[in-house]
Amino acid sequence: MAVHGTTRVKLIKGIEDNLQVRQFLYQSLVRSTPTIRKKGDSYGPLGFACNMPENYSSISVPLRAGEKVLGTLTLAEQSEGRYGSEAAAISETFAIMQPLPSKNARLFASAQEEAWSSTVLLQVTEASQNITGEEELLSTMNRLIPLLVGIKKCAFYLFDDAKNQFTMKSWYGFHPSVESKPY
């Protein structure tokens, strides 16, 4: 929530405490076109938080990413009749363009995660081709699994048929006691 001309606390308090302010905000979210406030309409969040006169001007436009509504862009001015069709067109264009950078950032983060997973999987493939024994396998798995899954601790327990129990054979991210307990 970006705020200019009032405090964030006043804005949130107005939305929480005043039913008409909440209704104004809700209506701006469900409409497909900008809402231009007329004299006598209920107060919007900025008008209420800034103690504007009854005849203040306001325009509210839903912020959309495709069909998904992300929020609302609300502008307010103390003078009457400030916003018309031109302001509606400009604010609507801005409201459609505004979510693009955040969507692009999410897509970039997702692509980075996929690249990271591919890199770790490649390391798993390369490592598995060179493994010669059980100890080396467990060591490699303990090194790569936390990277792949994003965990901080892991352990491998192997079942001992002769003793009919599990014993911790390899671990990562913690120091087990000198004598690990069998399970």
CA–CA separation, 11 vs 97, rounded Å? 24
Q: Does the pLDDT at position 45 exceed 70?
A: yes
Instruction: Calculate mean pLDDT across residues 87-100.
Output: 69
How far, rounded to the nearest angstrom, does the alpha carbon of residue 132 sit from its chain's CA centroid? 44
- For residue 42, the model assigns a pLDDT of 86
Q: Could you identify the residue written with the tokens 């363009």?
A: 97
Q: Using an 8 Å Cβ cutoff, are 43 and 53 in contact?
A: no
Q: Could you identify the residue written with the tokens 């302001």?
A: 87
- For residue 179, the model assigns a pLDDT of 46
* Cβ-based neighbour number of residue 59 at 10 Å: 23
Helix axis angle, 134-149 relative to 99-130, nearest 10°? 180
Instruction: State the span(s) of the chain assigned CATH 3.30.450.40.
Output: 8-97
Q: Tokens at residue 39, please?
A: 């004299």
Q: Could you identify the residue written with the tokens 């303990």?
A: 142
Q: Tokens at residue 109, please?
A: 């983060």
> pLDDT tens across 139-178, in order?
877 777 777 667 788 888 888 888 888 888 888 888 887 5
Average pLDDT of every residue of the chain: 79
Give the Cα-Cα-Cα angle 33, 39, 41 (nearest 5 degrees).
60
Q: How far is CA 140 from CA 144, 145, 146, 170, in A?
A: 6, 8, 11, 10
Instruction: Tell me if the pTM is above 0.85.
Output: no
Which CATH architecture does the domain made up of 8-97 adopt?
2-Layer Sandwich (3.30)
